[in-house]
Amino acid sequence: MIFGDTDVKNASGCMLAHAINLNALKFPKGHTLSEADCKELYRNGINVVKVARLEDFDISENDAALIIAQAICSHEKIGRISIKRSRTGRVNLVAEQAGVVRLEKQAIVDANMVDHMITIATVPDFQQIKKGGLIATIKIISYAVDKNSVQKFCRLIS
């Protein structure tokens, strides 16, 4: 991932490093700029923006979190779990029915050691859970992570 100041005319497809709130213009941190967004920013006097530009080996934070969640939920031992997405590199895994959560603790520890920008936090092993209860949160800390790290994390956790 390349991070830095970019001419707004060349920023289409990049993610904003900071929120922009200028009159009626409101773009949240992490927003991927479109051509129309860039033109609107330029019309409003913004010539340079601080952005993150993904490289070929990067996966965006939202896509990476979803890929990991899907890998976990596809495991044959997993019960009925829903994936609840957010737009900030976070995915929650929620119980679809009441039960007891069983974890492979060492797999979680090993997966969390793959890349400091990828993490999973869970309820404790043997935790009773109600329908709709939060089982785990997967968080991608940066705007993007290396595809190889995501693949390794998935292998260890699923």
Q: Write the pLDDT tens digit of every residue in 47-65.
A: 999 999 999 999 999 999 9
- Report the amino acid identity of residue 91: V
pLDDT of residue 79: 79
Domains of the chain: 2-53 (3.90.105), 59-157 (3.90.1170)
**Residue 37: which H helix or E strand, with range?**
helix 35-43
Closest CA to 53 of 87, 11, 116: 11
Closest CA to 140 of 157, 118, 121, 112: 118
pLDDT of residue 76: 67
- Rounded to an integer, the average pLDDT of 75-93 is 87
Cβ-based neighbour number of residue 28 at 10 Å: 12
Q: Enter the DSSP assignment of 117.
A: T
Q: How far apart are CA 108 and CA 6, in angstroms?
A: 38
- In this prediction the pTM is 0.87
pLDDT digits (tens, 9 = 90+) for 94-120: 999 999 999 999 999 999 999 999 999
pLDDT of residue 78: 78
- Name residue, tokens 């797999």: 107
Mean confidence (pLDDT) of the chain: 94
* Res. 86: pLDDT tops 80: no
